[in-house]
Amino acid sequence: MRHNKIIAGTMTWGKWGKNLSQVDMTNRIEQWVESGVSAFDHADIYGDYTTEIEFGKALKKSSIKAEELELITKCGIQMTTGRNNKVKHYDYRSTYIISSLEQSLKNLQVECIDTFLLHRPSPLMSAEEIAIAIEQLKKQGKIKSFGVSNFLPHQIQLLERYIDVEANQIQFSVDHLEHMYNGVLDDCQLNGRDAMAWSPLGAYFREDESEKMKKIRETIRELAAVYGTEEEVLVVAFILKHPAAVRPVVGTTDLNRLSILKKALSFEWSDEDWFVILESSVGRRVP
């Protein structure tokens, strides 16, 4: 399931974005699978705890069987919207992790989650407590693999005193390079973790007129013209070129946009041009 395969991010499919109808969501699932994208990324909190439910209903109405999909979801963040919480916080008690996963199974109307992630590190998390939950869920066949999201290597090391961590989903894009330098992507390579990147397009197509983004756009436009391809292709190809075999989690709900982004999977270009983009992002030559 690895090797730079694109993952469909569902964060904006529901209440937090496009607010797709059940029919539209069903169509997207079928179109995405037909186009070769069968991995779908969720989190319990998306749409104030509603998007998993809507996706599950849409999947049930579709011609796609759950077994054909790779399903990823996350737990741990406690929102003040959609829940009776007085403050946003994290909950990694074993009882909560188990109940959250079981709720996701019910929401998505499936029997197993392929990859179950802790959404963000908590100062109060107990590695031993987390391991108790994950071991039980694996033993029951309710999850296939366990990972984290937005964790640093030392936080993963803490968990690995008790449980194997098989994936890390992080922010990584042409304008967000932090994890190339803080050991996160090195850790993924060293330990064979499935590296996934949320927001892989970064701020490239947003209303960000900073000098940094202007320089990045100028560079990528010039290279896109040289290679005869779309700017999106180079933006995604930049992270795909990293040897950690990063899998981009793309949030588009437009099939044409998805087709363009998929071109990055087979895009061939020089290492030197990759460094041209890197230089435009960091604002200086490589030391």
Mean pLDDT of 113-125: 98
Q: How many Å apart are CA 89 and CA 67, to the nearest integer? A: 33
Q: Is 97 a residue whose pLDDT tops 50? A: yes
Phi, psi of 235 (to 5 degrees): -60, -45
State yes or no: is 46 an active-site residue: yes
Judge whether 279 and 285 are in contact, CB under 8 Å: yes
Judge whether 29 and 58 are in contact, CB under 8 Å: yes
- Candidates 200, 184, 178; CA nearest to 249 is 200
- pLDDT tens, residue by residue, 211-242: 999 999 999 999 999 999 999 999 999 999 99
Q: How many Å apart are CA 92 and CA 135, to the nearest integer? A: 14
For position 7, what pLDDT does the model report? 97
Which has the higher per-residue pLDDT, 185 or 5?
185
Q: How many Å apart are CA 77 and CA 44, to the nearest integer? A: 8
Contacting residues for 132 by C-beta, under 8 A, at least 6 apart:
94
Judge whether 157 and 177 are in contact, CB under 8 Å: no
Judge whether 100 and 52 are in contact, CB under 8 Å: no
For position 1, what pLDDT does the model report? 40
Q: How many Å apart are CA 31 and CA 209, to the nearest integer? A: 34
- pLDDT tens, residue by residue, 37-72: 999 999 999 999 999 999 999 999 999 999 999 999
Strand 7-9 and strand 247-250: the pairing is parallel
- pLDDT tens, residue by residue, 243-274: 999 999 999 999 999 999 999 999 999 999 99
Strand 77-78 and strand 89-90: the pairing is antiparallel
Mean pLDDT of 123-133: 98
- pLDDT tens, residue by residue, 8-32: 999 999 999 999 999 999 999 999 9
Write down the pTM of the prediction: 0.96
**If you write DSSP's letter for every residue of 144-176 in order, what string do you get?**
EEEEEES--HHHHHHHTTTS---EEEEE-BTTB
- pLDDT tens, residue by residue, 66-81: 999 999 999 999 999 9
Q: Please classify residue 272 by burial: count the beta carbons closer than 10 Å to its beta carbon, then call 0-12 exposed, 13-18 middle and 19+ buried.
A: exposed
Selecting among 46, 92, 162, 181, the annotated active-site residue is 46
For position 284, what pLDDT does the model report? 92
**CATH number listed for the domain at residues 7-165:** 3.20.20.100
Q: How many Å apart are CA 224 and CA 174, to the nearest integer? A: 15
- pLDDT tens, residue by residue, 137-196: 999 999 999 999 999 999 999 999 999 999 999 999 999 999 999 999 999 999 999 999
Q: How confident is the model at residue 4 (pLDDT cuts 50, 70, 90)?
A: low
Q: Is 3 a residue whose pLDDT tops 70? A: no
For position 10, what pLDDT does the model report? 98
Q: Is 2 a residue whose pLDDT tops 90? A: no
Q: How far is CA 39 from CA 6, 66, 130, 232, 250, in A?
A: 7, 11, 25, 20, 11
